[in-house]
């Protein structure tokens, strides 16, 4: 069948000639929606089986349709299928080829179905499949962090607020913060799958159909929990795409925060970590440099993913029920965001697994900036019974004295400290060392190595069951 003939037939005789070149260019989506080929064929086979089961088409025609669709699937997978922009989209490209292969029986496939519910089910299947891929990638990243956390449960490093050294923590505890963060991303993915687990197939153009179809059968055949309950919503809903882009944007933001820390930590000024050569590049002019390009690209790609979310929100905000051609803009956003997120997750998992941790540099930095000042204040409250505000004031004077003497808090003499508060005893030095500081933070979720190891054990069990 020629492209022109197929195009005219598609328009149902309404137009005497094919669309102008500009209209063809703006209208066609085959350049990107060909990515839906497997879902489109899968949906068509399920639809044909239901049509035969309900007696709407014959078993013989269904057998021809299924054989033809499987042939097309193989052609696309081996690269011999010829896509045509004149046929607009993946649906019409497949249908035209099916007609070439099996003749008039192909025309029965579209009974009780519209491209509106067809594209809705195709994209929903694709996004659902992608969510499962993202979930596996997140589990891999979480597992990488659990390994590093276990390795460094007692490795002391500075904890920061406002990018200023605040209190000493452990690198294991820091890693576990990302376990929590990415586990929430995993939870959002699973929640999204639960909400999108309904089939729009059978809603037809917008109002359902008078044919005695079985939407529960097709929903089950396609792996959905149930069919969607309203035909108008079935063809107009793109919440599942928006929700995927939203969870992708949040996850990308988490990856960007991590990338920022990796970039900072790998500078000579920090020297906390060293990235492997696999995730670094050199300079064309400065031979001493080792650039964290992979982390920088992860950070940069976050704007791209977030942009896709905002873009589709703007498309959908003005859409009255039900379907409008505007919705064609959903696919490129979703496809690119998914591809970008997959790459970001893979790159970050590799960096976390491969990085070399400089425990000595972390420990040295943990002792800078009077990071155990809060431990001094807590000791004054706990041991001397001072109100915390008074203890805070005494500690502030101690910090000022240490800065004046150009030493750390723990290097102040007992006489120095007693000049500020006579009640201070030698016992104060048991809390001013960074190692003792982190060991003391045994509250649930705290940075004490014993607590970090408890959290690691908990999360290992959760991920094993996930």
Task: Calculate the CA 35 to chain-centre distance.
Answer: 20
Q: Does 162 qualify as catalytic in the annotation?
A: yes
Choosing from 2, 58, 276, 283, the catalytic residue is 283
> Which residues face 291 on adjacent strands?
281
Q: What pLDDT was estimated at residue 282?
A: 56
pLDDT score of 52: 98
Of 217, 241, 201, which Cα lies nearest the Cα of 117? 201
- The Cα 83–Cα 175 span in angstroms is 48
Of 95, 85, 114, whose CA–CA distance to 27 is shortest?
A: 85
The C-alpha atoms of residue 125 and residue 6 are separated, in whole angstroms, by 27
For 36, list phi and psi in degrees, rounded to 5.
-90, 10
Q: Contact at 8 Å (CB) between 132 and 100?
A: no
Structure confidence at residue 138 (pLDDT)? 98
Please list, in sequence order, all residues whose beta carbon lies within 8 angstroms of the beta carbon of residue 195, skipping any fewer than 6 positions away.
Answer: 239, 240, 243
Closest CA to 47 of 120, 6, 130, 108: 108
Cα separation, 408 vs 412, whole angstroms? 7
Cβ pair 198, 235 in contact under 8 A: no
How many other CB atoms sit within 10 Å of the CB of residue 44?
Answer: 26
Q: What is the pLDDT of residue 284?
A: 46
Collect all residues with Cβ–Cβ distance below 8 Å to 404 and sequence separation of at least 6: none
The predicted pLDDT at position 80 comes to 97
Q: Are the beta carbons of 305 and 248 closer than 8 angstroms?
A: yes
Contacts of 278 (CB under 8 A, 6+ apart): 350, 354
pLDDT of residue 13: 54
Q: Model-level pTM?
A: 0.88
Tens of each residue's pLDDT in the chain, 466 residues: 444 444 445 555 555 555 577 787 788 899 899 999 999 999 999 999 999 999 999 999 999 999 999 999 999 999 999 999 889 899 999 999 999 999 999 999 999 999 999 999 999 999 999 999 999 999 999 999 999 999 999 999 999 989 888 789 999 999 999 999 999 999 999 999 999 999 999 999 999 999 999 999 999 999 999 999 999 999 999 999 999 999 999 999 999 999 999 999 999 999 999 988 887 765 545 545 578 889 999 999 999 999 999 999 999 999 999 999 999 999 999 999 999 999 999 999 999 999 999 999 999 998 776 777 888 888 899 889 899 899 999 989 988 988 888 887 878 888 888 899 888 888 888 888 888 889 988 999 999 999 999 999 999 999 998 8
The whole-number pLDDT of residue 164 equals: 84
- Of 17, 104, 162, 210, the active-site residue reads 162
pLDDT at 288: 53
Q: How far, in Å, CA of 318 to CA of 307, rounded? A: 18
- Which pLDDT belongs to residue 3? 47
Residue 283 appears among annotated catalytic residues: yes
The 3-state secondary structure of the chain, one letter per residue: CCHHHHHHHHCCCCCCCCCCHHHHHHHCCHHHHHHHHHHHHHHHHHHHHHHHHCCCCCHHHHHHHHHHHHHHHHHHHHCCCCCCHHHCCHHHHHHHHHHHHHHHHHHHCCCCCCHHHHHHHHHHHHHHHHHHHHHHHHHHHHHHHHHHHHHCCCCEEEEEECCEEEEEEEHHHHHHHHHHHHHHHHHHHHHHHHHHCEECCCCCCCCCCCCCCCHHHHHHHCCCCEECCCHHHHHHCCHHHHHHHHHHHHHHHHHHHHHHHHHHHCCCCCCCEECCHHHCECCCCCCCCCECHHHHHHHHHHHHHHHHHHHHHHHHCCCCCCCCHHHHHHHHHHHHHHHHHHHHHHHHHHHHHHCEECHHHHHHHHCHHHCCHHHHHHHHHHHHCCCHHHHHHHHHHHHHHHHHHCCCHHHCCHHHHHCCCCCCCHHHHHHHCHHHHHHHCCCCCCCCHHHHHHHHHHHHHHHHHC
* Residues 276/356, Cβ–Cβ less than 8 Å: yes
Q: HSE on the CB side for 36, CA within 13 Å?
A: 31
């Amino acid at each position: 069948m020629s492209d022109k003939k197929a195009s005219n037939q598609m328009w149902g005789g309404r137009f005497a000639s094919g669309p102008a070149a500009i209209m063809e260019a703006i209208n066609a989506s085959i350049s990107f929606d060909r990515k839906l080929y497997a879902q489109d064929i899968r949906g068509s086979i399920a639809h044909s089986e239901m049509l035969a089961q309900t007696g709407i088409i014959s078993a013989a025609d269904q057998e021809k349709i299924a054989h033809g669709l499987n042939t097309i699937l193989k052609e696309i997978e081996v690269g011999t299928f010829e896509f045509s922009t004149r046929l607009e989209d993946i649906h019409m490209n497949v249908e035209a080829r099916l007609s070439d292969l099996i003749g008039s029986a192909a025309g029965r496939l579209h009974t009780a179905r519209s491209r509106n519910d067809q594209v809705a089910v195709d994209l929903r299947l694709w996004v659902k499949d992608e969510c499962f891929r993202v979930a596996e990638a997140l589990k891999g990243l979480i597992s990488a962090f659990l390994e590093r956390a276990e390795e460094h449960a007692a490795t002391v490093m500075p904890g920061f607020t406002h990018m200023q050294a605040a209190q000493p923590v452990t690198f294991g505890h820091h890693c576990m913060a990302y376990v929590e963060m990415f586990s929430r991303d995993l939870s959002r993915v699973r929640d999204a799958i639960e909400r999108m687990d309904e089939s729009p197939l059978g809603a037809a153009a917008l109002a359902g159909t008078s044919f005695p179809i079985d939407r529960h059968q097709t929903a089950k055949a396609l792996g959905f929990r149930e069919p969607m309950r309203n035909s108008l919503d079935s063809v107009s809903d793109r919440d599942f795409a928006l929700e995927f882009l939203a969870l992708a944007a949040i996850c990308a933001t988490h990856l960007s925060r991590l990338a920022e820390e990796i970039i900072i930590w790998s500078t000579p000024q920090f020297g906390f970590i060293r990235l492997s050569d696999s995730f670094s590049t050199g300079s064309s002019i400065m031979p001493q440099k080792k650039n964290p390009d992979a982390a920088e690209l992860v950070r940069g790609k976050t704007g791209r993913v977030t942009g896709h979310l905002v873009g589709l929100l703007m498309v959908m905000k003005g859409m009255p029920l039900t379907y409008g051609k505007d919705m064609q803009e959903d696919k490129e956003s979703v496809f690119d965001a998914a591809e970008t997120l997959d790459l970001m997750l893979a790159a970050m998992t590799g960096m976390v697994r491969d990085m070399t941790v400089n425990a000595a540099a972390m420990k040295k930095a943990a002792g800078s900036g009077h990071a155990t000042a809060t431990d001094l204040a807590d000791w004054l409250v706990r041991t001397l019974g001072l109100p915390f505000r008074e203890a805070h004031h005494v500690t502030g004077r101690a910090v000022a004295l240490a800065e004046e003497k150009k030493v750390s808090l723990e290097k102040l003499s007992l006489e120095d400290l007693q000049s500020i508060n006579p009640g201070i005893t030698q016992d104060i030095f048991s809390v001013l060392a960074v190692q003792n500081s982190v060991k003391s933070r045994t509250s649930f979720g705290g940075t004490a190595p014993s607590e970090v190891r408890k959290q690691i054990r908990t999360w290992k069990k959760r991920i094993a069951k996930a």
